[in-house]
Amino acid sequence: MGKLARGRMFRVMVVAATMSVAACSPGAEDGPSSPGRSSAAESPVGIESYLLGLDEIRALRTRPDIVLEWVASAGDKPARSLPYGPVEPARCNSAVGMEYNLQVEQWTQYRSSGLGYRKEYWISQSVASFQDEATASEMFGRIKDSVAACGNSSGLYPRERTNSGETAFPFSVSLRDFTETSARWTYVIRGTPVRHDPSTTEVFVGVARNVVLHVSVMELADAAPLSDAMAQAITRRVQSK
Within a domain: 29 = no
Tell me the CA distances in angstroms from 172 to 8, 68, 175, 186, 198, one per residue in order.
19, 27, 10, 8, 10
Furthest-apart CA pair in the chain: how many Å? 53
Locate the DSSP E strands across the chain: 69-75, 107-117, 120-130, 154-162, 165-178, 182-189, 199-208, 211-218
Return d(Cα 114, Cα 215) in angstroms, integer: 10
- Residue ranges making up the domain that contains 7: 3-18+39-240
Q: Which helix (H) or strand (E) holds 8?
A: helix 3-10
Within a domain: 25 = no
pLDDT digits 0-9 by tens, 164-194: 566 788 999 999 999 999 999 999 988 766 5
CA nearest neighbour of 11 among 126, 108, 117, 118: 126
Within a domain: 28 = no
pLDDT digits 0-9 by tens, 30-89: 333 333 333 333 444 589 999 998 889 989 988 876 766 766 556 777 765 555 677 899
Return d(Cα 31, Cα 9) in angstroms, integer: 22
pLDDT digits 0-9 by tens, 119-160: 566 888 999 999 999 999 999 999 999 999 999 999 998 866
Rounded to two decimals, the pTM is 0.77
pLDDT at res. 60: 93
pLDDT of 27 > 60? The answer is no
Within a domain: 30 = no
Within a domain: 174 = yes
- Measured at the alpha carbon of residue 236, what is the angle toward residues 231 and 241, in degrees to the nearest 5? 130
* CATH code at position 74: 3.40.1000.70
| CB-based contact 50:100 (threshold 8 Å) | no
